[in-house]
Amino acid sequence: MSEYVLKLEGITKEFPGVKALDNVHFDLKAGEIHALMGENGAGKSTFIKVITGVHSPTSGEIYLNGEQVEFDNPKEAQYMGIAAIYQHVTNYPDLSVTENIFMGHEKIGKWTRRINWKQMHADAKSLLESLGSDLDPKTEMGSLSVAQQQIVEIAKALSSNAKIIIMDEPTAALTHRESEELYKITEQLRDDGVAIIFISHRFEDMYRLADRVTVLRDSQYIGCWDVDKITHDQLIVAMVGREIKQLFPEKQNQLGEEVLRVESLGQIGRFKDISFSLKRGEILGITGLVGAGRSELCQALFGIEPYDEGTVYFEGKKQVIKTPEDAIQLGIGYLPEDRQAQSLILQWEISHNISLSALTSISKKGWLAEKKEREIAKELAEKVDVKTKSIFDPASSLSGGNQQKVAVAKLLTTNVKVLIFDEPTKGVDIGAKSAIYQIIVDLAAAGYGIIMISSEMPEVIGLSDRIAVMCEGRVTRVLDKSNATQEAILEASMSKKVNNSKVG
Amino acid sequence: MSTRTINNTQEFSWKRFFLQWEWMLVALIIIIFLINSSISPYFLNYLSISDATMTFLDKAFIVFPMVMIMIMREIDISVGSTVALSSVVMASLYNAGLPMVLAIGACLLVGALCGFFNGFLLVKYRQLSAVIVTLSTMILYRGIAYMILEDQSAGEFPTWFSFFGWGYIGSVPFILVLFVVMAIGAVLLLQKTVFGRRVYAIGSNPTASRFSGVKVDKIKLIVFTLAGLMAAITAIFLTSRMGSTRPNVANMYELDVIAMVALGGISTAGGKGKMLGAILAVFVIGYLQYGLGLINIPAQMLLIIIGVLLIASVTVTNLRVKGKLQKKKSKKKVKKAS
Amino acid sequence: MTEKNRMNLATISKFREFGLLGFIVLLTIVIQFLNPAFLTLGNLTDLIKNTAILSILALGMMLVLITRGIDLSIGATLALSGMIAALTVSAYPDLHPLLAILIGILVGVVCGVVLGFLVSKVGILPIIASLGLMNAFRGLTFWVGGGEWISAYQMPSSFKNIATSSFLGINTLVIIAIIIFLYFYYFVNNTITGRQIYALGSNPDSAKISGINSHKIYMIVYTMMGGLSGLAGVLWVSKFASAQGNTASGYELTVIAACILGGVSINGGVGKVTGVLLGAVLLGVLDNGLPLIDVSPFWQMGIEGAIILVAVLFNTIVKKTVEKNNRLRRVI
Amino acid sequence: MKKFSLLSFLMLVLLTLLVACGGEETGSDEGNGDSDGGGDDAGERHAIIFKSTGNPFGEKLMEGFEDAITEAGDEAILRAPEQPTVEGQIQIIEELISQQVDSITVVGNDYDGLEPVLTKAKDRGIKVLSTDSAVNGNSRMVHVNQADPEAIGRIQIEAVAEMIDNEGQIAVLSATSQASNQNLWIEWMQKELEKSDYDNIELVEVAYGDDLRDKSVSETEALLQSYPDLKGIIAPTTVGIAAASKVITDKGLQGEVVVTGLGLPSEMAEYIENGVSPWMYLWNPIELGYLAGYTANMLVAEEITGEVGDTFEAGDLGSYEVTETEDGTEVLLGDPFRFDADNIDEWKDVY
């Protein structure tokens, strides 16, 4: 028996166009909590999928209890005692909680092969109770809140009696109290001899729980340290690759007159009573935990799902925004969070992507002006520095960062004055990141009003003139550049309603 | 910001030009012509070839909007019933004393309304799939047609009305002339206008389209209404050819139309395919059917052939898409490695 | 809050079925009022007997719809297997009727496997694949039948008895339908494969992560549908004592309509055996009752279409309202 | 690229194959091996179009037609669309016009709907006639009728009256026929019922079974439920009469409710033998087809023109005269044939 329950050596995973993992090492001892850290797009998610058998690695070896293994499908990994809680909720909305928990390892009668519902419901109930939740296991999954679904996901991992549990950002959508609950459970599991891989953005999670930490960056293995033997700054350097300050360009923006003001904006069940204003040349950061209502707010401003109450003033005039066309007409551009699903048409050539929002203006009476389209595409693609040879290449041939640049270029085709960036650097490698920062800063300097949603605190702090922190659908605090610290943001983004949690 | 220059002129490539599904269809048409003229001595003369178009072009008008619908990842299986309903309404109104011109107007209106209703339900209730909506309206529209005419037929149109289905302009069938004109319009609409580009955008990525300010709902509504309108035009031609109508006409036309569109290389996953392909496919299927008819092949064999052809063509297009993707992947890898 | 939420959802799903049941009862009362012959033992027996085949097919179609698919070829499959079974028994009159049933099922299974293969392996959209096969199977039926019908006198009475005999006073057709219903009830609720069908339809991407073999599930679903169509084909031919090339032409629409009425979502993941049964019964009541109250036969199609459309819209609107209410109740 | 061309090639091969076996099929399947290929010099070519494929009545009709044509040394083309629609028949007629056939005999799916295309055929010098189910007078030169609609209507009432001893309720189960003959027969039935002999007979309902098995069955069941005292059902349609007889048999109502009408001997053999239907009527489709074939030949030979008063010898069937009807002219085959327990055995294997 090896010292390590799980050991991965030289794992490389290539996707068409992307090397998602490049020679990554990892080891895990029984009864330890091992934090896996790295920025978005560092390869953590892919790494988990390799461990759980969803992807098979292009090269490299996996050892389980000292024996080399190969997983052809998730079932095999599950059978070997590996369970994962994924970052993106991967459940069955139409099925009951019990079924979601036991999917893939249902309890069946020995001879009858009949699903033992009674026992499954009871087991689900006790599992949920051990997580401090009194959810009825017969509830339909789709009717639960994200936080409740996350708890079910955890229960699901626990239910398989796994020896290795991987938690991918489990606390991201949890309130403070729930996080505490989770810490306790995680520790208890560890004490029971389960090995846990804990992935989180939150440093506090790591400090609170982990024994060791492995850092990935740009798909590569950076190192593995005992948590108490590495300083915070060293860790950040390991994750980001250089001192954060160098990442952010010098800002030369000058604030102009007010361009956008919202007053007590609200959307039923999503956010409430939001007021702020935005000046030309200003970068307003909006941050908070996932599920705090940031994206919903900005999507409402862009007319994707209209707000139910409140008023929007654009350049001093009261305006109603009901559809994205309204917003674009006014001069509001929106860069969605998920560029592949919401912004780009991957199989289309770059030029067509860039021109999509502005087709009306680059056409003559409804006929496409293809020459003009190509000129505009070239000009903008060069402006944001897309790394490509020709504007006729499909967007799918670009790397994540360059795709994001195309998405930004697309915004600039229309006559916008306010730009909303929703997680602009999500899943983008470090080089492209600073390029995107440069673009944002340049745009601000050019007089655009910019709203930037981000979960990454350094980014928010490094770029914003002001920072609005959201928590559970409300703005809890607006910080100036001068008093914006990680601690202040964190505090404002945590729920105050500890005893009035909606979960459970 | 940067000094990089990006190419915005595309070199013409013969390989790319010929590597299009449409050429495959052209080849198919040529082969069908060769086979047809070798198996039947009656095929290869002007009268046969032009008269044949009269037999299969009526439903081909629905192909134009169906291409757009399928590019948008939707489907409309109510078009056959729409043809029946608008035809029945036109004939009953005429028999009730309305002037023929107004009756034709009513036919177009009913067709457009049927299509609009489909589109409206789809847009209003986004969770509903097009299959469900058009399946329900397919039963409903034909049901209404039956309510109006029961088991009667209606007709006795003025003689000029037969011009639609039987008339010639010079020596070219009127239906062919109109079809070619509309086909050119449809190709331009889908390939050369903002509207067409947006149809493709919706089919390729509906969310991204909406986020890019494309009026997804409005375009869907227009295209479905267009489908109804074209079904009404089909109804006019069909009714003119029969000189009278019944509630059971145009049964299963939707199947024929979908088969043509699928053979035309329009990917069932949306976003792919060209109008020209579907138009060529109309002639492929039309002349295939006509040629087999000239050697008096039994109807059941025809059924099997059309069914197999449909599946075979969709299989080939599917594999083609997959193959292309794979090609792209391997190309990328090389790029990355170098 | 949680408790309330749960109550609400459970109520809604029950509400749909009770709504359907209520509608059936209402319809029954109206028909009974207009023609007292409706609620008689004899007529009810006829009604149930006529609904049996429809409900068998609807159960199979439910599984297909749950996986986000559709099968338009079942009418043709039914005709083909009915024709082949009838040809077989007319050539070998001593054949045991069970064997005839088996032959029918086998033909149906082969048809189903072809469709399943096209859908799962080749990746053709189910609606297109089944449209194509519908043509091909229908053509084959005409072809093997050689344009002839197989008539009552050509079938041994043992074969015709499949549909007319009864067991414990209950018609065999009904018994077969009940057995299949019970099996399906067990299958979808209590077996892993059954639940995997729902899981796949509910979220195909997660299904992959959970290690569910989607190819296998598609194959199972379409094969079962084919097998049931084959069975229904034999029962149909036995019941009407005649096999024709155009048997059950267009019947697939009725079957799908029964599923939709029964609350099966074409977007996958949702559908209950009891709901589908109720949907089939509703159509059965309409088919049986409308002639009894002298509704013009030409109005039946329109009435059916309107009811289906209303049911579809009703489902959607209820669902939308519930979702909105859930959101409203969330405290911010 | 390679894959693409390979697939394209495969598809072409497949298509060629299909076309090839398609051609072969024609030769073997319909038993009209002499219908494909062949140029003008192979004698005259006569085409017949039935309502739809896969109908035994139609098969026999076409068989009789073919017999008459081949006897004359000519070539017969047998066609039918897959669905009983006008559109299908129009397309087939267009194809026949292109083939420059000499005559077209059509069993119409619609009385008026074929007028334009048949007029076109006549304009191209093709002789056009209809049989079994007529097309309107403008579109045909002559109609070859099975039997007089009046006789068909009246004889069914006479039959049912005899079966139920002139007393009790009766109902009609019709199709929703595309051709108007069904309704014409029912009209004559009603006229016959006005006679005082039938004062005690009440026609309670005319139901429609759409010529669908399942629908005909539920309509019959509804009739039995609504009229518990029903004594007889007349079903002037082949699907309806068999479905009604099946229901009566299954419910064990032999002797209580009788069924008669027009049916195929093969479909009805079972029920004539078990007494549900003491007897029923139909004409002989082979003879009808044969007569149609002869008439077509006569028209092409220009021995007749389809005008009233033309007479001709139709082989074994004897001599016929063209008579006038309300709309156009017709040749009448004769009275409907009665099938009962005594003769059903010899007929059930014929058609």
Q: Is B211 on the interface with A (CB under 8 A)?
A: yes
A3 CB burial (10 A radius; 0-12, 13-18, 19+): exposed
Query: Is residue A17 very low, low, confident or very high in pLDDT (cuts 50, 70, 90)?
Result: low
Contacts of B335 in chain A (CB under 8 A): 397
* Burial (Cβ within 10 Å: 0-12, 13-18, ≥19) of residue A66: exposed
* pLDDT tens, position by position, A390-408: 888 888 888 777 888 899 8
Which pLDDT tens digit goes with each residue over A101-141? 888 778 877 777 788 888 889 988 988 887 777 888 888 88
Average pLDDT, chain C: 86
Tokens 């003959």, located at residue: D181
Task: Give the span between the Cα atoms of D179 and B58, in whole angstroms.
Answer: 24
Q: Find all residues with CB under 8 Å of D27, minimum gap 6, and list them.
A: D33, D36
- Res. C108 pLDDT band, cuts 50 70 90: very high
Mean pLDDT calculated for residue range D197-209 = 87
Mean pLDDT of C73-93: 93
CB contact under 8 A, C306 and B143: yes
Is C124 within 8 Å of B258 when comparing Cβ atoms? Answer: no
Q: What is the pLDDT of residues B228-284, one digit of tens each?
A: 999 999 999 999 998 889 888 888 888 889 888 988 888 777 788 899 999 999 999
Count of domains in chain C?
A: 1
Chain D closest CA to C284's CA: distance in Å?
10
Alpha-helical runs (H) found in A384-420 = 400-412
Q: What is the pLDDT of residues A415-468, one digit of tens each?
A: 889 999 988 887 676 667 778 888 899 889 888 899 999 877 778 888 889 999
* Helices and strands: H and E segment counts in chain B: 15, 4
Do A and C make contact, counting contact as 3+ CB pairs within 8 angstroms?
A: yes
Overall residue count recorded for chain D in this entry? 351
- Quote the pLDDT of residue C209: 75
Domains of chain D: 40-146+285-334 (3.40.50.2300), 149-282 (3.40.50.2300)
Q: Which chains touch A (3 or more CB pairs under 8 A)?
A: B, C
What Cα–Cα distance (Å) separates residue D9 from each residue in A39, A376, B280, B288, D23?
A: 50, 42, 18, 18, 21
Task: Using CA coordinates, name the residue in chain B closest to C245.
Answer: B300
Question: Is residue B329 over pLDDT 80?
Answer: no
Residue B190 to residues B61, B62, B193, B272, D69: CA-CA distances in angstroms? Answer: 15, 15, 6, 12, 54
> Is some CB atom of chain C closer than 8 A to the CB atom of D55?
yes
B139 CB within 8 Å of a chain C CB: yes
Name which of C192, C208, C269 is nearest A94 (Cβ-Cβ): C269
pLDDT at residue A359 is higher than 60: yes
Distance CA B235, CA B245 (A): 9
Query: How confident is the model at residue D172, as a pLDDT?
Result: 92
d(CA C243, CA C234): 9
CATH of domain A4-243: 3.40.50.300
Question: In the structure, do chain A and chain D come into contact, i.e. share 3 or more CB pairs under 8 Å?
Answer: no
In a domain, C220, yes or no: yes
B145: nearest CA partner in chain C: C302
Q: Which residue has the tokens 């920062």?
A: A437
The answer for A 291-330 residues in CB contact with B (under 8 A) is 302, 304, 323-325, 327-328
Question: Which residues of chain D have a CB within 8 Å of the CB of C246?
Answer: 52, 54
pLDDT at residue A477 is higher than 70: yes
The SS3 of residue D174 is strand
Q: Which of D82, D214, D222 is closest, CB to CB, to C291?
A: D222
Contacts of D336 (CB under 8 A, 6+ apart): D146, D147, D151, D152, D155, D262, D281, D282, D283
Residues of chain B found within 8 Å of residue D116, distances taken between Cβ atoms = 162, 165-166, 240-243
Per DSSP bridges, beta strands D311-313 and D319-324 are antiparallel
Shortest CA distance from D54: residue in chain B: B300
Instruction: Tell me what pLDDT residue B51 has.
Output: 86
Chain B: partners with 3+ C-beta pairs within 8 Å: A, C, D
For C42, the closest of D59, D213, D225 (CB atoms) is D225
Half-sphere exposure of D103 (CA within 13 A, CB side): 31
Q: Quick one: pLDDT at residue D16? A: 53
Nearest-by-Cβ selection for D26 from B32, B245, B298 = B298
Residue D50 confidence (pLDDT) above 70? yes
* Cβ of residue A74 closer than 8 Å to a chain C Cβ: yes
Q: Which residues, 6 or more positions from B102, have their beta carbon under 8 angstroms from its beta carbon?
A: B93
- Find all residues with CB under 8 Å of C199, minimum gap 6, and list them: A92, A95, A99, A103, C206, C207, C210, C212
The residues spanned by each domain of chain A are 4-243, 244-331+416-497, 343-415
B270: closest chain C residue by CA? C125
Asked if residue C6 belongs to a domain, the reply is no
Does the pLDDT value for residue A285 go beyond 70? yes
| Range 149-208 of D in CB contact (< 8 A) with C | 176, 205, 207-208
C66 within some domain? yes
Q: For residues D312 and D294, is the Cβ–Cβ distance under 8 A?
A: yes
Does residue A146 carry a pLDDT above 60?
Answer: yes
User: B94 falls in which pLDDT band (50, 70, 90)?
Assistant: very high
Q: How confident is the model at residue D36 (pLDDT cuts 50, 70, 90)?
A: very low
CA angle at B110 for the pair B108 and B111, rounded to the nearest 5°:
65
State the pLDDT confidence band at B331, using cuts at 50, 70 and 90: very low
Contact assignment for A143 to C9 by CB distance below 8 Å: yes
Residue D24's pLDDT band (cuts 50, 70, 90)? very low
Query: What's the rounded Cα separation, in Å, for the pair B180 and B184?
Result: 6
C148 within some domain: yes
Report which DSSP code applies to A349: B
Quick check: A139 and C3 CB within 8 A?
no
Dump the DSSP string for D334-346.
Answer: -SPEEEETTTHHH
CATH of the domain at C110: 1.10.3470
Q: What share of chain A is helix, strand, coil (3-state, %, to 5)?
A: 35, 25, 35
| pLDDT computed for residue A242 by the predictor | 60
Which residues lie below 8 Å from residue D319, measured CB to CB, with a gap of 6+? D311, D312, D313
> What share of chain C has pLDDT > 70, as a percent?
93
Q: Mutate which of D61, D230, D250 to disrupt the C interface (most C C-beta within 10 Å)?
A: D250
Residue A58 binned pLDDT confidence (cut-offs 50, 70, 90): confident
Show the DSSP H helices in C118-156 as ranges: 126-145
Residue of A nearest to C199 (CA): A92
Interfacial B residues in 113-132 facing D (CB < 8 Å):
none
* Cβ pair B24:D8 closer than 8 A: yes
Given CA atoms C170, C173, C179, C182 in this order, what sign does their dihedral have? negative
D78 and B296 within 8 Å at the Cβ level: the answer is: yes
Q: How many residues does chain B have?
A: 338
Average confidence score pLDDT of chain A: 82
C-beta of residue A156 within 8 angstroms of C-beta of residue A475:
no
Q: Is the pLDDT of residue A184 over 90?
A: no
Scanning every residue of chain A, which has its alpha carbon at the shortest distance from the alpha carbon of C268? A94
Q: Which of C211, C330, C332 sits opposite A78 (nearest CB)?
A: C211
Quick check: B20 contacting D, CB < 8 Å?
Answer: no
Contacts of A113 in chain C (CB under 8 A): 191-192
Q: Is the dihedral of CA D216, D217, D218, D219 positive or negative?
A: positive
Separation of alpha carbons D210 and A66, rounded Å: 74
Chain B residue closest in CA terms to A377? B8
- CB-CB under 8 Å, A389 with B7: yes
End-to-end CA distance of chain C: 13
The bridge status of strand B168-169 relative to strand B172-173 is antiparallel
In contact, C8 and C322? CB cutoff 8 Å: yes
pLDDT at site D3: 46
From the list C70, C266, C302, which residue is nearest B146 (CB)? C302
- pLDDT greater than 80 at residue D162: yes
Do B255 and C124 lie within an 8 Å CB cutoff?
A: no
Q: Which of helix, strand or coil describes residue B80?
A: helix
CA angle (B45, B48, B53) in 5-degree steps: 130
pLDDT in tens, C289-323: 888 887 877 888 888 889 888 888 887 887 777 77
Q: Which residues of D touch B91 (CB under 8 A)?
A: none
Would an 8 Å CB–CB cutoff place B337 in contact with chain A?
no
What's the helix, strand, coil split of chain C in %, to 5? 80, 0, 20
Q: Is any Cβ of chain C less than 8 angstroms from the Cβ of A309?
A: no
Tokens of D144: 């070859």
Q: What does the mean pLDDT of chain D come to?
A: 83
Nearest residue to C332 (alpha-carbon basis) of A134, A143, A267, A180: A267
Residues of chain B with C-beta less than 8 angstroms from the C-beta of C253: 135, 138-139
Chain D adjacent subunits, 3+ CB pairs under 8 A:
B, C
Which of B92, B303, B315, B321 is the best residue to mutate to test the C interface, defined by the most C CB atoms within 10 Å of its own CB?
B303
> Lowest-confidence range among A252-261, A346-355, C279-288?
A252-261
Split at pLDDT 50, 70, 90, the class of D26 is: very low
Q: Which residue of C has its CA nearest to B134?
A: C309
**Does CATH place domain A244-331+416-497 in 3.40.50.300?**
yes
**What whole-number percentage of chain A has pLDDT above 70?**
90
Range A467-487 average pLDDT: 84
Domain that holds residue C132: 37-324
Short-list C41, C23, C79, C114, CA closest to C230? C79
**D203 - beta bridge partners?**
D170
> Taking a C-beta distance cutoff of 8 angstroms, is the pair D351, D264 a contact?
yes
